[in-house]
């Protein structure tokens, strides 16, 4: 599928005219808005999503979800397998969504990502909740310790 088709597929009713005919102008406007808003790097709106970088593919998926105007979004490993620059952009997008009042549930094995984005943290080990806490002054070592159930040695400064 193309970038524009992928972004607008969740809201075909908004871009369809009489008898379900797609309003190409509206489809293009909506897609272009998201490409600009999320900084999606693509040669054109007609480019296949599969030909984009992993980070830009992820941003297309986010645009598709945001087009539905959700009140809550669940992100499952949103930055897994993408380059460092794309990770920064995806994390910025997630933080902005939260600031806009959209509830975000983040499932991530990246402890630094969790610490940078989450207000509350729930640690799970082998499918069971082992700890729930507010993200205030929690260190990466504390989280890893809870996950591994061992104390992480502090390195002397």
Number of structural domains (the chain) is 3
pLDDT digits (tens, 9 = 90+) for 58-107: 999 999 999 999 999 999 999 999 999 999 999 999 999 999 999 999 99
Asked whether residue 49 falls in the same domain as residue 83, the answer is: no
Residue 64 placed within a domain: no
pLDDT tops 60 at residue 157: no
Of all residues in the chain, the percent with pLDDT exceeding 70 is 95
Asked whether residue 128 falls in the same domain as residue 80, the answer is: no
Pairwise CA distance, residues 103 & 155, whole Å: 36
User: At 76, is the secondary structure helix, strand, or coil?
Assistant: strand
Asked whether residue 114 falls in the same domain as residue 127, the answer is: no
Residue 62 placed within a domain: no
Residue 34 placed within a domain: yes
Asked whether residue 82 falls in the same domain as residue 102, the answer is: yes
pLDDT tops 70 at residue 142: yes
Asked whether residue 127 falls in the same domain as residue 89, the answer is: no
Pairwise CA distance, residues 83 & 153, whole Å: 30
Count of alpha carbons within 13 Å of 85, Cβ hemisphere only? 6
Asked whether residue 8 falls in the same domain as residue 38, the answer is: yes
Asked whether residue 8 falls in the same domain as residue 46, the answer is: yes
Question: DSSP secondary structure string, 102-129?
Answer: -EEEEE-S-HHHHHHH-SEEEEEETTEE
Strands, E assignment, the chain = 72-76, 103-107, 120-125, 128-134
Asked whether residue 111 falls in the same domain as residue 129, the answer is: no
Asked whether residue 93 falls in the same domain as residue 135, the answer is: no
Residue 60 placed within a domain: no
pLDDT digits (tens, 9 = 90+) for 25-70: 999 999 999 999 999 999 999 999 999 999 999 999 999 999 999 9
Residue 124: pLDDT band (50, 70, 90) is confident
- Residue-number span of the structural domain to which 103 is assigned: 70-118
pLDDT tops 60 at residue 139: yes
Residue 155: pLDDT band (50, 70, 90) is very low
Asked whether residue 19 falls in the same domain as residue 49, the answer is: yes
């Amino acid at each position: 599928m193309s970038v524009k088709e992928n972004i607008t597929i969740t809201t075909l009713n908004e871009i369809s005219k009489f008898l379900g005919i797609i309003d190409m102008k509206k489809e293009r406007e909506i897609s272009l808005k998201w490409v600009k808003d999320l900084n999606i790097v693509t040669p054109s709106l007609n480019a296949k999503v599969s030909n984009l970088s992993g980070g830009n593919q992820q941003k297309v998926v986010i645009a598709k979800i945001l087009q539905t105007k959700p009140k809550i979004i669940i992100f499952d490993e949103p930055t897994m397998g993408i380059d460092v620059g794309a990770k920064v952009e995806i994390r910025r997008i997630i933080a902005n969504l939260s600031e806009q009042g959209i509830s975000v549930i983040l499932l991530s094995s990246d402890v630094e990502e969790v610490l940078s984005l989450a207000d509350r943290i729930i640690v799970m080990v082998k499918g069971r909740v082992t700890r729930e806490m507010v993200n205030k002054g929690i260190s990466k070592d504390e989280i890893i310790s809870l996950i591994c159930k061992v104390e992480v040695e502090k390195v002397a400064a």
